[in-house]
Amino acid sequence: MVLQAIKYSRGQLDILDQLKLPHAEEYDHIYSSTDAWHAIKEMRTRGAPAIAIVAALALAVELVNMKLSPVAEEVKAFIVEKLDYLVTSRPTAVNLADAAKKLKKTVEDAAGKQSANGEDVREAYVKAAEKMLVDDVSDNENIGKHGAEWVVKNTEAGKQGPVSMLTHCNTGSLATAGYGTALGVIRSLHSNGSLKHAFCTETRPYNQGSRLTAFELVHDNIPATLITDSMAAALLRLKGSSENIAAIVVGADRVAANGDTANKIGTYQLAFLARGHGVKFLVAAPRTTIDLDTKSGDDIVIEERPGKEVTMVKGPRHDGVSLDLNVVETVSIAANGINVWNPAFDVTPHELIDGIITEVGVVEKDSDGVFHLDEIFKGDDGT
């Protein structure tokens, strides 16, 4: 069975409810942009590329099922308003803002054509949104291929044989339209016979690692071990045969023009640990995650989430012997009354990043330590 976070056919969208994973695989129907806004805000769907695609497709579904104005300008105005609204759901990942910008351009072009009607604008929008779903999977497969080749060629362990890798958060099929970015690199190494072992962090406080990445690794039969976030330094010191980590590979929510990268909270400390232990640190992301308009990490808005994500955990009841999947409990794991700071992301400075893996290749810094990310957009229309 293929893991699918997003199920789409024209006029219908279902998302896998990631709050219920790994214990239950249930899909929610998404009928409108309002449904998508709530699903994204509540993190029933999450991961930078998946957020953008769900938002774009939700509006496509709404448009296909609604009674449409015959006037092109009115349909365009409706779409633009809904896209502006969708972008407010989560601020850090740029993929959604990037998708909204491109979709606005599509409808502006369609509405600007002579004798265009409402149906023409809708059709142009729906086609462009559907293309995003298809493109994301092929981009991820290419990221996986380029990343795996780079690791084999550029790490000491890779030159000698199969490698062990560490990843953080969830960047797999659940965070994208399919295959994944950083987890796609691990998938690609595995399918080439170049992976010895994968390690994933728990990724507190939302546990994307233990709930989602571990679920994907088990699903794909990839040899893997879960660690808590605080075990990463100890793991990097180990030099046993499977623990000898060749590289840490993570995803991204926004890569600034200079390469500074916003990603799941805890990424920054992993980058420091990698540098301290002589381990390569790689960011894997499609070009839709690279934001040339944001100069550096200082300009990235970091989403802060409710404190209860830190003080509470939720899961099916366990009576000490077995799980009861029918009873979901929320339990407190912190002292009542304590203040909580819960930034969802942090920024890793480009100095700590060895390579940015994209669908068009791996970008490395020049001899002055500068990433030239603008070069990978050359030749693209309108960018």
Any idea which residues carry the catalytic annotation?
A: 253
Measured from the CB atom, the residue of 124 and 274 that comes closer to ligand MRU is 274
Q: What is the DSSP string of 347-361?
A: EE-GGG-SEEEETTE
Do 124 and 116 form a contact (C-beta atoms < 8 A)? no
Kindly state the smallest distance separating residue 258's Cβ from ligand MRU, in Å: 19
Angle, CA of 294, 298 and 302, to the nearest 5° = 90
Indicate the pairing of strand 323-332 with strand 312-318: antiparallel
- Classify residue 56 as exposed, middle or buried by CB count within 10 Å of its CB (0-12, 13-18, 19+): buried
Closer by beta carbon to ligand MRU, 49 or else 162: 49
User: Could you say which of 47, 118, 144, 205 contacts ligand MRU (CB under 6 A)?
Assistant: 47
DSSP E strand boundaries for 206-285 = 224-227, 245-250, 254-256, 261-264, 280-284
Give the x/- contact pattern for ligand MRU in 251-290, rule: CB under 6 A.
xxx---------xx--------------------------
DSSP assignment, residue 241?
T
| Continuous H helices in 155-263 | 156-160, 182-191, 214-219, 232-237
Rounded to whole angstroms, what are the CA distances from 28 to 13, 36, 218, 324, 362? 8, 10, 24, 22, 36
For residue 3, the minimal CB distance to ligand MRU (Å) is 14
Residue of 6, 39, 48, 97 that binds ligand MRU (CB under 6 A): 48
Q: State residue 356 phi and psi, 5-degree precision.
A: -115, 115
Q: Which is nearer to ligand MRU, 109 or 303 (CB)?
A: 303
Q: How far is the CB of 351 from ligand MRU (least distance, A)?
A: 20
Burial class, 205, CB count within 10 angstroms (exposed 0-12 / middle 13-18 / buried 19+): buried
Q: For ligand MRU, which stretch binds (CB under 6 A), given 122-130, 151-159, 226-234, 248-256?
A: 248-256
Least distance from ligand MRU to the Cβ atom of residue 208, Å? 5
Residue keyed to tokens 């100095």? 351
CB of 48 to ligand MRU, least distance (A): 4
Nearer to ligand MRU, 82 or 264 (CB): 264
User: Which CB sits closer to ligand MRU, 216 or 253?
Assistant: 253
Q: What angle do CA 152, 155, 157 make, to 5 degrees?
A: 80
- Give me the residue label for tokens 């560490």: 166
Nearer to ligand MRU, 112 or 343 (CB): 343
Q: Does 89 bind ligand MRU (CB under 6 A)?
A: no
Please tell me whether residue 49 binds ligand MRU under the rule CB under 6 A.
yes
Taking CB under 6 A as the criterion, the residue among 8, 30, 39, 46 binding ligand MRU is: 46
Q: Encoding tokens for residue 147? A: 């990343």
C-beta of 46 vs 350, nearer to ligand MRU:
46
Yes or no: say if 218 and 177 are a contact pair by the CB < 8 Å rule.
Answer: no
Total residues contacting ligand MRU (rule CB under 6 A)? 17
Going residue by residue from 337 to 356, which x/- string records binding to ligand MRU, judged by CB under 6 A? -------x------------
> Rounded distance, CA 264 to CA 270, Å?
11
127-186 residues in contact with ligand MRU (CB under 6 A) are 169, 171, 175-176, 181
Q: Dmax of the chain from CA atoms?
A: 69
Min dist. Cβ of residue 177 to ligand MRU (A):
10
Among 79-87, 233-241, 245-253, 291-299, which window interacts with ligand MRU (CB under 6 A)?
Answer: 245-253
For the segment 108-127, give every residue that binds ligand MRU (CB under 6 A). none
For residue 356, give both structure tokens.
């940015």
Contacts to ligand MRU by CB under 6 A: 46-49, 93, 169, 171, 175-176, 181, 208, 251-253, 263-264, 344
